[in-house]
Chain A
């Protein structure tokens, strides 16, 4: 077992020293007073110049939250969070009102440059426009909304999107500029009373992205939001709302990183997707929050509620996620398949290493007739981490002719980690067809030796096997992200590959 032992050793050494995004940006910031009270909620609402209805909505959520307790059913273990010891709002201090990119604090621009996130449209526009039918994916345009701590600092390609009728802007702006759309849909998928963290988010969310795609429009480019937590002791509570009107299509990407810190930081986001008749939303995440160091110190607590509502007939929502970061991940991107013939998909790669704890999965709630869903989950556990897939597939009494296919595969590297699969399946009518497959395997000594005998190093061999294991899901990511994700997977597992 020498080779496997070595892999384990190597993987054990990998930790945060490999985390490339652990730097901190030194800028002045504007913070709400520490702790959470009605005043904090009012402060945030006032900072955002929100209308009265929004403040009322937040306050109701806050009062509700006071009556709730933290959920304990997940297979994660962490010291109790002191919600009064956090800042709930932090914004980079603006030099003046920002109207163009040139007026953004250069330190922030530098931060995004370091992260490889293009905030300058010019840079993206260079090169020849690809001809129709021979699209070059590397040159495809991506509109980016960059959220720094609690506020959105830049949104690119707004004008070009506007031409197509697509609204893509910080949600704080949308509340002011498109109140009818926001008021109608906010909380319609994840109600303010949904769960402890979602309710907290409803009370104190500060920013996030808002997308509306009008009927029949195919969004002309990928939309992307990049989240960055910078401030110390600050929770990030972003809120994303995406509405795809009848017959429209949008693909949305989300990325996240945070500096390396010894203390834990809280991230409690809510994402709501609404797909009307014949609409399709593709939502991809590459989550790379700081995972903590080799002793399990520090790292992001990621308690996220993501849910899509296939409200219209023949609508489709597809979640693809690559989860490599965070000390604790508690996340179940779900689909409510309300419209007849609607379809939900969940493709997930969850990698845990060091002392990371992942409890992630999905819910497919079949309410409409002939609805279908597909779940492909690939969990990889290394180091001393624990990796749990938790999923629910349910068919309502009236949801006849529903179908689900679930495949959960777990790969273990070393003998100190754990992989767990907790599927719940409930069919309340006899015409539902649910299939569930699950496997758990270890990277075998023989496979490693085979690769190494052919000239690959130990790390290259592990990287190759792991990338093969997750390939089915990687293929679901937009091209730009797939390459990035593939690199990230190698880095998460050993640092020297990629």
Chain B
């Protein structure tokens, strides 16, 4: 059984079709890249998998380990191991990153019937994880994303991904707003988290990211459908010819 199985998914917003029949199978250990122009529906796909409100599911199924994901609340999905790294992480003034991470991690553990971490246990863990990603301790004490640079916000997303140990990671344009050095740091964080038990879906406009994170499978999405799938060489092809060739395919 695939970890994630999407069957003929149709999604709309205000009666306008955004996703119009997507099929996708993702197995544990795989890294998929979804590429496509603005408005192709690729970010929407990640939002729908994570359960963001405001979308109308007009047809199809999303199964996660065979369970119907679309019937679960977003926090249940998180507890099951679905993680979305946001394109635009929000800031939460007055709530320290440490407190936020502890509340979230313990909420997930509680939902899974695991014992919640005590404060010392948690602090030990979060420091270890932050250390392994070269994230300064100081960042943990600041308000969640408050006054963070673009690079720091994205590193905070990777920190959370490392801490929560999800089995499905959705990375929504994690490269946007990053300079080349920050991109490298974030990419190495992602690469360190690749494992045979974990699947990742990387959503991006640009091939640049895929130089650092090498995908197993590349999908090209346009106007609400996956138009072509292939190996990593497909990304190079796209770079040479652009997205236009896929507009009317399939």
Contacts from A to B (Cβ < 8 Å): 1-3, 444-447, 449-458, 460, 464-465, 467-472
Contacts and interface: CB of A to CB of B under 8 A. Distances in A.
B95 A455 contact: no
Given A450-B86, A450-B89, A464-B95, A455 B75 contact: yes
A76 B51 CA distance: 41
Interface residues of B, number: 31
B50 A453 contact: yes
B244 interface: no
A465 B73 contact: no
Contacts, number: 83
A450 B108 CA distance: 14
B104 A449 contact: no
B250 interface: no
Contacts of A455: 75, 78-79, 104-105, 107-108, 111, 164
Interface string B81-109: 00110101110111100001001110110
B160 to A, nearest CB: 7
B51 A453 contact: yes
B78 A454 contact: yes
Nearest to B91: A447
A88 to B, nearest CB: 43
Nearest to B85: A453
B60 interface: no
B9 to A, nearest CB: 19
Contacts of A451: 92, 100, 104
B25 to A, nearest CB: 23
A460 B103 contact: yes
7 residue pairs, one from A and one from B, having the closest CB atoms: A468-B94, A2-B53, A455-B108, A468-B95, A454-B104, A471-B94, A455-B78
B17 interface: no
B53 A445 contact: yes
B143 interface: yes
Given A456-B104, A460-B107, A464-B103, A449 B92 contact: no
Nearest to B47: A449
Contacts of B90: 444, 446-447, 450
Given A455-B105, A455-B108, A469 B94 contact: yes
A47 to B, nearest CB: 48
A465 B95 contact: yes
B131 to A, nearest CB: 21
A3 B53 contact: yes
B120 interface: no
Nearest to B51: A453
Contact of B94 (A3, A445, A454, A470): A470
Contacts of B53: 1-3, 445, 449
B196 interface: no
B133 to A, nearest CB: 17
A468 B96 CA distance: 8
B125 interface: no
B78 A464 contact: no
Contact of A452 (B75, B89, B94): B75
Most buried by A among B90, B105, B143, B164: B90
A453 B107 contact: no
Given A465-B95, A468-B92, A468-B143, A449 B52 contact: yes
A2 B47 CA distance: 14
27 contacts: A1-B54, A449-B53, A450-B90, A451-B92, A452-B51, A452-B75, A452-B78, A453-B78, A453-B83, A454-B75, A454-B78, A454-B100, A454-B107, A454-B108, A455-B104, A455-B105, A455-B107, A455-B108, A456-B103, A457-B73, A457-B107, A464-B95, A468-B92, A470-B94, A471-B94, A471-B95, A472-B94
